[in-house]
Amino acid sequence: MFSRLIFFIAFSLTQLLVFGQPENMALIGSGTYVPLYGDDSIRVEVQSFHMDIYPVTNAEFEVFLKESPEWNKDRVIALYADKNYLGQFNEKGDLLPDANPNAPATNVSWFAAKKYCEFQGKRLPSLDEWEFAAMADETTPDARTKSTYNEFILSWYETPRTFSKDIGSTFKNYWGIYDMHGLVWEWTLDFNSVLISGESRKDMDKDNNLFCGAAAIGASDLMNYAAFMRYAFRGSMKARYSVRNLGFRCAQSLPDN
């Protein structure tokens, strides 16, 4: 009898662990959408997945550095980071006193961000997953045509030094996650899969075969400008770059996926 009880408790806990919501993550439902680089014939399908509610913070990254000291800035492999890496930390992996521990961890290269997520048993979200989760405002899953949503994003581009604010400073979106917009840019697993030439006038050329999908970049509506900035930013990135305004959060596939 007793052993049965123990077995039952152990079984339930395991079930919870496997199928319940991981701590500090939210479930992003499945769906399809037309991304900026596509048109109606190229709808992207996103399977349900879990995503961190907040971006990874300086304090959390500090813990990671203590446990993986080979990622400190004096020891990190040069291929994986540039000179701006971990500007707010010292060589021993301590956060410098003037940095905000609750602010998103920025100045982190893609390699380091990816490692951090792996360390948690997670991964970086894909670009499509990130964009899908980011389409939402407080009340709707796809708010991209709403002017308030776009204006919020565009006004963020004008606000200086948002990288030093606490996580949770901006709005909680439909899926229950914070700060997809308004705090920092975020790494994705395949940030460089949509290529931009860097010469934006040339990008208007429909013959441009650098794009995975048909070029919709010539659009002039507001929605595309807000999103275009993100793509333009990603286009300027390389995996070893560390940028003051660029942080990240982790994602996790569902067990059956």
232: contact with other proteins by CB under 8 A? yes
Q: Which DSSP category does 228 fall into? A: H
| Structure tokens given for 109 | 């290269």
Taking the complex as a whole, how short is the minimal distance between the CB of residue 222 and other proteins, in angstroms?
6
Question: Which residues ranging from 82 to 111 are in contact with other proteins (CB under 8 A)?
Answer: 84, 87
Taking the complex as a whole, how short is the minimal distance between the CB of residue 242 and other proteins, in angstroms?
7
Query: Is residue 204 classed as helix, strand or coil in its secondary structure?
Result: helix
171: contact with other proteins by CB under 8 A? no
Taking the complex as a whole, how short is the minimal distance between the CB of residue 138 and other proteins, in angstroms?
20
Q: Segment near other proteins (CB under 8 A), from 54-62, 108-116, 130-138, 224-232?
A: 224-232
Q: Which of 11, 236, 14, 32 is nearest to 135 (CA)?
A: 32
Give the position of tokens 């499509």. 128
Q: Around Cβ 192, how many Cβ atoms within 10 Å? A: 14
- Residue of 59, 214, 229, 239 that binds other proteins (CB under 8 A): 229
Taking the complex as a whole, how short is the minimal distance between the CB of residue 237 and other proteins, in angstroms?
6
- Residue of 70, 74, 94, 151 that binds other proteins (CB under 8 A): 151
Q: Which of 229, 216, 235 is nearest to 37 (CA)?
A: 216
Taking the complex as a whole, how short is the minimal distance between the CB of residue 196 and other proteins, in angstroms?
8
- Residue of 67, 78, 98, 201 that binds other proteins (CB under 8 A): 201
Helix (H) or strand (E) holding 252: strand 251-253
Q: Which of 108, 161, 152, 121 is nearest to 134 (CA)?
A: 152
Cβ-proximal residues to 107 (8 Å cutoff; 6+ apart), any chain = 84, 85, 86, 87, 88, 242, 243, 244, 246
185: contact with other proteins by CB under 8 A? yes
**Which residues bind to other proteins, rule: CB under 8 A?**
84, 87, 151, 154-155, 157-162, 185, 196-203, 217, 220, 222, 225, 228-229, 232-233, 235-237, 241-245
